[in-house]
Structure 1
Amino acid sequence: MAAQQEVVANIIQQQVLKAAEIIEERLDEEIKTLDDLKGDDIEKLREKRLLQLKKEAKKRQEYLAKGHGEYNELGDEKQFFDVVKKSSNVVIHFYRDCTPRCKIVDHHLKILAKRHLETRFCKILADRCLFLAEKLKIRVIPTLALIKDSNAKDYIVGFTELGNCDDFSTDMLEWRIARSSVIDYEGDLLNAPDKKKVGKPDGNIHSKNSRNLRNSESDLDD
């Protein structure tokens, strides 16, 4: 038994040393590449980086001018269509003051609006836009409409896909929105941040709390 453990330890040690050698070789190559750069090459890299930063700053200013970076309320349907026309990516929360879970959504969307400047986050009172709600087939409150290039691409209805609970994380909602490609996301789209709550990558939830969830949400038809 001891002999087997020693063999395994030696194999692991050899693998670690090999990995270290590979990393060292890559570092040497990068250092050599930098050393080989001439003054003109360094200046070109600097100019390229400055140009990239200027483009990013300009894009940021454009986003801010359109209302990105903040979570705002829209007054009516006309304002909604103006937002959708100006911004390629929009997340809009259809809410009601009498629905407690809408406050939970508000909390998370305020955070995500600052985290994802590339997307416009806003909300609208469902009772104030019945034509729009009917057009988008909004039936349950809260509902998030995920809009890309003026098309309603997806909906997040209630909290079912967020773990069927009130204490889901902001990261969980971010992941679910990202699956519709309306925000830039660097995480794993196939695995939810709260795996224990979701269970399956497709987001289908079967929970004992489903009845309570329906009771705490409101039906727009009512």
Structure 2
Amino acid sequence: MEVVTTRLEGYKLLTMAANGNMVEQQLIAATQIIEQQLDAEIERMDNLDSDDLEVIRRERLAAMKKKQEKKQEWITNGHGTYSELYDEKEFFEATKKSENLVCHFYRDQFVRCKLVDKHLDILARKHIETKFCKINAEKAPFLTERLKIRVLPTLCLVKNGKTKDYVVGFTDLGNTDDFSTEMMEWRIARADVVEYQGDLLCPPSSKSSGQRMDVRKKKTIRGRDDDSDDSDSD
């Protein structure tokens, strides 16, 4: 029995060694491929003539020009500032003009709505690619009912004319009035309506705990259902 056990242990050790050698060989092969790709790119750059360099320069200039034109379009559409929408018509016009939009449904007498205003004003200046605005829920009863907004403050996150998500109250912001602007930025970014460089799976205040959150999809602003969930925003 001892002989059989010894042979089994020896076989396991040989298998582990073989697997280790295989992994090592795969790493070496991957490294060689990367080195070959780098060498090929360096060689290509070294062999560029003046015409090639001119093409690259023109492409970069065209990209810069396009980016500047897009930035000017955003500014024309009210991006870069946190603005007020005075009726439902303005809301629908804004969703048509801006690919990305964050709209805060509020009431004047709600203190928490004023806290949201403070954070959105900061984010509006940071994320010029997105239009940040607010609308008094009392002045937009049809829209408020259509979007099933029951709790204030509520953020409606819109992309390409469709509501991607809602931020209802402060539950998703740590359930506290002292949440950071970074926390709100992360939560909005979960709907892909702002350009975000951080970890979308982990909020800024809970990176150490590894907390994970899901985004629920809602109805579109015109009443059609989104890809999945059709629940209320209560």
TM-score by length of 1: 0.74
* 2:139 alignment partner, one of 107, 113, 128: 128
Q: Cα distance, 1:186 vs. partner?
A: 2.5
Moved more, 55-64 or 79-88: 79-88
1:199-210 to 2 correspondences below 5 Å: 200-202=211-213
Matched with 2:4 is: none
CA contact (8 A) 1:172 1:192 kept: yes
User: Is 1:46–2:57 an aligned residue pair?
Assistant: yes
Q: Cα distance, 1:115 vs. partner?
A: 1.8
Q: Cα distance, 1:35 vs. partner?
A: 3.2
Change (3 A) 1:174 1:161: same
* Structure whose CA Rg is larger: 2
SS in 1 for 2:133: strand
Matched with 2:197 is: 186
Distance in 2 separating the partners of 1:129 and 1:198: 40
TM-score by length of 2: 0.70
Q: 1:42-66: CA deviations, max 9, x gaps?
A: 1111111000000001111111111
Q: Aligned residues: percent identity?
A: 55
Matched with 1:146 is: 157
Distance in 2 separating the partners of 1:33 and 1:70: 45
Q: How many residues align?
A: 185
Distance in 1 separating the partners of 2:105 and 2:43: 56
What amino acid is aligned across from residue 114 of structure 2 in structure 1?
K
What amino acid is aligned across from residue 164 of structure 2 in structure 1?
K
Higher relative contact order structure (alpha carbons within 8 Å, sequence separation ≥ 6)? 1
SS in 2 for 1:164: coil
Q: Tell me, which stretches of 5 or more residues in structure 1 are unaligned? A: 1-20, 205-222
CA contact (8 A) 1:94 1:123 kept: yes
Distance in 1 separating the partners of 2:80 and 2:113: 20
Matched with 1:5 is: none
1:32-181 to 2 correspondences below 5 Å: 33-181=44-192
CA contact (8 A) 2:104 2:154 kept: yes
Root-mean-square deviation (Å): 2.6
Distance in 1 separating the partners of 2:89 and 2:209: 37
What amino acid is aligned across from residue 46 of structure 1 in structure 2?
R
Q: Cα distance, 1:30 vs. partner?
A: 6.1
